[in-house]
Amino acid sequence: MTFKIALGGDHGGFKAKAFVKNLLVEQKHTLHDFGTNNEDSVDYPDFVHPLAEAVEKEEFDFGILFCGSANGVCMTANKHPNIRAAIAWNAEIAALAKQHNNANVLCIPGRFLNESELEEIINSFVNATFEGGRHQRRVDKIPC
């Protein structure tokens, strides 16, 4: 199965985003990269808000954000009412974010993962599906 995926992040996540972009292109997904496009220092909200708005409008199946720690991009994305952004640092956490929380944005700590970890995490999230049921009830209670 292939998806429409939005990518974005800051300089701290640029290398990880470039690696993941190649991986997803090889897997024939449709991608849009909201930037940043190099390792020059930038402010992550400038890249997160446009991606989050597009995911909220369902222009993409989901988004993947990258920064150094994943915290900045995740905090920013979760300010959007219809975004459920989750940080993942291993494959199981990534799968659970989709299976139990119906995450529509995955947040990657680019400075703390090697390429093999990145590949495992991305494949795990992309191939997971939301389980619904009791998890749907809980997800419905998330908005304030």
100 among known catalytic residues: yes
Q: For residue 94, give the nearest of 116, 72, 64, 139 by alpha carbon.
A: 64
Q: Which token pair is 67?
A: 């920064």
Nearer to ligand RB5, 65 or 97 (CB): 65
For residue 60, what are its two tokens?
Answer: 């993409």
Please, what is the minimum distance in Å from the beta carbon of residue 12 to ligand RB5?
A: 3
78 forms part of the interface with ligand RB5 (CB under 6 A): no
Residue among 68, 83, 107, 124 that touches ligand RB5 (CB under 6 A):
68
Complex with ligand RB5: residue 21 or 29, whichever CB lies closer: 21
> Is 144 tagged catalytic?
no
User: Among 29, 33, 56, 69, which residue interacts with ligand RB5 (rule: CB under 6 A)?
Assistant: 69
Q: Is 121 in the site for ligand RB5 (CB under 6 A)?
A: no
Q: What is the arrangement of strands in the sheet containing 30-33, beginning at the earlier edge strand?
A: 30-33, 4-9, 62-67, 105-109, 85-87
Q: φ and ψ at 84, to 5 degrees?
A: -120, 95
Active site residues: 67, 100
